[in-house]
Amino acid sequence: MKTETDYLQNALQTFNNTNGVNWYGWKKEDDEGNKIPNSERMQYKYIKIIKDGATMPSEADVNAKIQELKDADIVPEYVKLRLTEYPNHNDCIHALLDGGDTLTDLQAKRQATKLKFPKP
């Protein structure tokens, strides 16, 4: 499960095309010279640019990208429910290898699961 920090870092990596090289780092001290605890450093307000030519995206742009990434990670409820009842991978492999009634039974179980948890 992704944390807010994971989403922040993933979002930041989409800005400033740097071919996979981080364009940003994290400040170790705040503007008054106070040490920022490691557990609190990974926030927008503590981003520092470490790559020449990189520009700081706005906080609104970063937050929009974070939401876009979160939305892409949402798994529909019917998919979650189906996964609890679908045959596992080993059952599928054996059914394919064995064929006949084994494969027919597996296909029937999958179809019953789809009917029980239909797409919206």
67-110 pLDDT tens trace: 999 998 888 888 888 888 888 888 888 888 888 888 899 899 98
Q: Which residues of 77-109 are buried (b: 16+ CB within 10 A; e: fewer)?
A: eeeeebeeebbeeeeeeebeeeeeeeeeebeee
pLDDT of residue 32: 94
- 9 and 62 assigned to the same domain: yes
- 69 and 102 assigned to the same domain: no
- 92 and 46 assigned to the same domain: no
- 60 and 107 assigned to the same domain: no
pLDDT of residue 61: 98
Percent share of the chain, pLDDT over 90: 56
pLDDT of residue 2: 86
- 58 and 88 assigned to the same domain: no
- In the chain the first and final C-alpha atoms are separated, in Å, by 25
State how far the Cα of 61 lies from the Cα of 11, in Å rounded to an integer. 9
Residue 20, pLDDT above cutoff 80: no
- 67 and 29 assigned to the same domain: yes
Total number of domains in the chain: 2
- 13 and 31 assigned to the same domain: yes
- 68 and 83 assigned to the same domain: no
Whole-angstrom Cα Rg for the chain:
23
- 14 and 60 assigned to the same domain: yes
Q: Which domain holds residue 84?
A: 77-116
- 56 and 94 assigned to the same domain: no
Assign 58 a pLDDT band (cuts: 50, 70, 90): very high
| pLDDT: which is higher, 18 or 68 | 68
pLDDT of residue 42: 95
